[in-house]
Chains A and B, each alone.
Chain A
């Protein structure tokens, strides 16, 4: 397998906005390589032996945190979990204190999830270690976008010219922002749909069309990217009830039956079954939700590998 030299420009992964086309290509090509590693009887390579990362999750997460931890262990690196409940954050430690402590521990990389936009950048400006943004507030979640795009390319060949529709709470979704940016970069035509209360102002300036009526656009698209809707948005006045939300914006059994024949469905998880999607979607042959989870590990291996300074020419993680 040919492996291009990793893009040395990649110092941190803070958002899709900061990635060059070369960075994106390098991540995909390495992810392909690592996906084949994951198919081996012993799915481990020694590429990052001796490296140590910290999973710094200030917000609850199951799949992202374990996906990164698994990716690190598949590369023979260590990934320490930083559990919010047990940490000093509860005792009033600031993010700056946390950054200084991590710096003093001399780890190689930090994977951060935080409820506030810009938190990953904040760390990146204060650490010698590389920083991966695993979701910062309503800003970006770049590895989700990369694994979504990787999954779609695997299924569709290319995103060039494909129509992608993101449905749901666009305003509070970091996945939406990262996905809009990345899908556009890969040549897709992107649209968003949701109640106007959950569409952020001037979102069309990110390069997407806006729809408020799902049925006007759903059956024309190649990719349906459903997003999680949180019940607490009801209290905030975004929509009157779950029932009405499901009726207007849910991927119901009826709507599923009317999708274009080749259309695929993705969702970043965790799904609120019965709200944004009927349970029947999980049986839908073109639902790629589990592929997303599997590919998440390969894509995160690629990201960690490239950021940790792994070099294909030196320690050849590629299958023999």
Chain B
């Protein structure tokens, strides 16, 4: 799928520089994996030329939240299939969540994941390690060893660290390594439902998960982050109350960041009317006011990043009663298009700001250098066609799993390909 190109000219496109917040119509010359020219008129004799007229060129996207399912559920996804799906969606780097079987709670497990990522040779895998041993929420995991092996953040994602003393220890301990804790916020006792608690759950007779469960857990973790001075990152913010809390915490100077997922700002719980388990996700799809609050949070920067929470599940696992189905939906391949329509075409933000939510902002959360397209820098970029309309087809997904809620939906804007470090190109012109 990748093609190594020594000398490549991306001609006639518009470069989006999210760090500078602007677009530039320039040609991009890439030689031996580095950007060597960025100008209107570049002579590039002997270079492979990709016609980028009408297209946009942006830094590769960074996903703070995906589930690659390896080890333990390779029938749903593997590192190789998941990172291939990532490239299809424009993500050149993905944070792999540790709730695998066994969980990624040791140096050896982190090394295993990094190794799987390297041998696949597609999107770069940045493992997130467990903050507690086996995600049990009781004792600290060996965070130092995992940092040495390449873990970028720590999380018991899928579980909230219910014991406040343990969460405090996690936050304090991570401070030594300047690594953030990623919090999955869901307060114990309010976490047993399968759908957002509200008029729809009442109508459908589904057990409800109230927004207060997410917000109350987020509030505690925000206060603990403030207390310990550690960076806290809130996963998949789904409701207005949590957005408000993040806004308040940032105003107060707490080192908190937050992510939101495309399904939470494009769908509501009304989609559950047919009990289609492809719409079952955690946190659940919420009401219209929550959806709008998440969009507003992204627009004003309260929510820093767009993350996918790509959660593949096999057809067999999903084709059961709603209560019995696992929560989660694939998202790597649709995130850019959904975000583009909901945030840019809707007029909520301009293109460079939107790209920043997929690049600079998530990179900063995990301490990566700000992704830029600049002379001398390694080329890690994507080519986007913002005019292309395409229909999400379940059977054409690159992921091993098919559990998308967007099948049949017409999307606007598409990732056409890009370049990975080392001058390896996929998509446009490469295949």
Contact = CB atoms under 8 A, between A and B. Distances in A.
Interface of A: 17, 94-96, 114, 116-119, 121-122, 136-140, 174, 177, 200-203, 205-206
B199 A121 contact: no
Nearest to A137: B205
A138 B20 CA distance: 54
Nearest to B189: A237
A95 B321 contact: yes
A201 B274 CA distance: 20
Contacts of A114: 321
Contact of B319 (A96, A117, A118, A205): A96
22 contacts: A17-B203, A94-B319, A94-B320, A96-B319, A96-B320, A114-B321, A116-B321, A116-B322, A116-B324, A117-B205, A117-B206, A118-B322, A121-B275, A122-B275, A122-B322, A137-B323, A139-B205, A174-B205, A200-B201, A201-B202, A202-B198, A205-B203
B204 interface: yes
A136 B205 contact: yes
A110 to B, nearest CB: 15
B13 interface: no
Contacts of B206: 117-118, 137-139
A17 B320 CA distance: 23
Given A202-B199, A205-B199, A138 B321 contact: no
A177 B205 contact: yes
A206 B204 CA distance: 11
Chain B interface bracket (under 10, 10 to 19, 20 to 34, 35 or more) = 20 to 34
B202 A206 contact: yes
Contact of A206 (B201, B203, B208): B203
B197 interface: yes
Contacts of B197: 201
Interface string B185-221: 0000000000001110111111110100000000000
Interface in B75-120: none
Contact of B205 (A94, A138, A201, A205): A138
Given A201-B197, A201-B198, A118 B204 contact: yes
A95 B259 CA distance: 36
Contacts of A94: 319-320
A118 B316 CA distance: 17
A117 B203 contact: no
Interface in B259-302: 274-275
A118 B279 CA distance: 13
Nearest to A114: B321
7 A-B pairs closest in CB distance: A118-B275, A139-B205, A138-B205, A117-B205, A202-B199, A200-B202, A116-B321
A102 to B, nearest CB: 15
Given A122-B275, A177-B205, A117 B198 contact: no
Most buried by B among A117, A138, A139, A203: A117
Nearest to A199: B202
A205 B202 CA distance: 9
Contacts of B274: 121
Given A94-B320, A96-B319, A201-B197, A117 B202 contact: no
A262 B424 CA distance: 83
Contacts of B321: 95, 114, 116, 118-119, 122
B64 to A, nearest CB: 32
Nearest to A139: B205
Given A138-B205, A140-B205, A177-B205, A201 B323 contact: no
